[in-house]
Homo-oligomer: A and B are copies of this chain.
């Protein structure tokens, strides 16, 4: 496991929130909060990253996440290049590393990497020069750390605390990097009552999500929850194995206003997007008064600015 921290303890890479010290997470949330602006206000602009080059290296398409990182970097004054790379699986690791060495030789300082295969961001981080930082923008089913941070920031803004909260993560936990990063963030930040809610076929292995209560019905899972975090379900999984089709999924696991009423009256509803409206979430919940889904997006660019500022700002002396 590549260490994400430099010898002086500062943050160099962000690959996973697992084992990231609480102080680092809190510092990033604090810093991100400073970049948040209300809708309609001008976003914060600075030249903190002038002369810095950020490359978005995505082998899996994700327009929203790419644009969020791109705007975060540009608003700090960095130059940004986008690469959508299609790599055949054979010799993929090697090709990826050669691409990374190329970017490094082009004086790229930060590589934002999204990949459908496990281990790629870490492989890159283990091989780049000491002055280069690697940020994961989504790795297989394993990790999506900036998503985890923006989820935590959103909860903090609306609840003001983590201790004493009941947080339910609902949906395809088994295949979700969003769930895993949220789990890591909420655990370290002190959420005591953390629940995962899923059909049996979408439950993770027993060894994972230690300390979480497992529920197979919304009725028990949402009861008195402060935070209801819905996940996207891949249509491709529908009808497979023990999984019901879309209509039956919605009937059993879709978040409707009636089911949301099981949670606390001031519960917030989150979703990482893109949403399957009418499958995992009803439109009147997605767009309703308890939804903070758009806050999540706004917080996403703030979190990415914070992470970029942190890894570059702290490298002085190390670069």
Contacts and interface: CB of A to CB of B under 8 A. Distances in A.
Nearest to A295: B105
A55 B67 CA distance: 9
A52 to B, nearest CB: 8
A116 interface: no
A89 interface: no
Q: Copies of this chain, how many?
A: 3
B79 A53 contact: no
Interface string A305-319: 000000000000001
A107 B53 contact: no
Given A45-B51, A83-B63, A71 B101 contact: no
A251 interface: no
A262 B110 CA distance: 40
Interface residues of A, number: 50
A74 to B, nearest CB: 5
Interface string A243-284: 000000000000000000000000000000111010000010
Contact of A81 (B70, B103, B277): B70
A68 interface: yes
B106 A301 contact: yes
Contacts of A51: 42-43, 45
B40 A105 contact: no
Interface string A52-79: 0101000000011001101100110001
Interface of A: 37, 39-43, 45, 51, 53, 55, 63-64, 67-68, 70-71, 74-75, 79, 81, 83-85, 91, 94-95, 98-99, 101-107, 129-131, 273-275, 277, 283, 294-295, 297-298, 300-301, 319
The 5 closest A-B pairs by CB, nearest first: A105-B297, A43-B107, A40-B131, A105-B298, A105-B294
